[in-house]
Amino acid sequence: MPALYPGGILPPYMSSENERTLILVKPDGVARGLVGEVVRRFEARGLKLAAMKLINAPRATVERHYEEHRERPFFADVVNYLCSGPIVAIALEGPNAVKAARSMMGATNPADAPSGTIRGDLALSIENNIVHGSADAESAAKELAIWFSDSEYV
Ligand code: CMP
């Protein structure tokens, strides 16, 4: 039985065999020239690029993206931060893409992220933690729909 997401059952590409997840390379990652390093790691693991774009994120899009954090004290700061410079939005595809990408990123707080992970190797600050990755299949479906239209997938 496929898992449910807000719009109903998961679309075909969201089976765990061929799943999609959203990755954002945040302003610190782009400013530090780490887009290639982040993409290299995911590609080396075997995940495929299904869509990718460099953008100045519109505030309304970022607010929708972080909707679940709206009541948290850091909401305004994370929204401002994601709007503070160019970001790269990526749709990654592959078997168990959500879980694979999450484990490669390490814990949200880089201080808790083990060496070998993106945050454990490249970041020190919870806000400037280089990447965002969807937490689960349901969030991935929701977040991908926020950042990409169907026509942007290659
Ligand atoms: P991200 O995975 O993009 O999701 C929410 C972001 O809020 C998180 O990464 C962090 O960069 C940022 N953040 C700032 N403070 C906190 C906090 N106390 N707990 C969780 N996330 C935080």
The answer, yes or no, to whether residue 16 has pLDDT greater than 60, is yes
Q: Is 65 a catalytic residue?
A: no
For domain 21-152, give its CATH number from 3.40.630.30, 2.60.40.10, 3.40.50.720, 3.30.70.141: 3.30.70.141
Query: Ligand 1 pocket test: which of 69, 108, 136 has the largest number of ligand atoms within 8 Å of its C-beta?
Result: 108
The domain spans of the chain are: 21-152
Instruction: Name the CA radius of gyration of the chain, rounded.
Output: 15
The answer, yes or no, to whether residue 8 has pLDDT greater than 70, is no
* Residue 150 in tokens: 């169907």
How far is it, in rounded angstroms, from Cα 21 to Cα 42? Answer: 12
Is residue 23 classed as helix, strand or coil in its secondary structure?
strand
- What's the pTM value of the predicted model, to 2 decimals? 0.91
Instruction: Band the pLDDT of 18: cuts 50, 70, 90.
Output: confident
Question: Which tens digit of pLDDT belongs to each residue from 69-103?
Answer: 999 999 999 999 999 999 999 999 999 999 999 99
Instruction: Band the pLDDT of 11: cuts 50, 70, 90.
Output: low
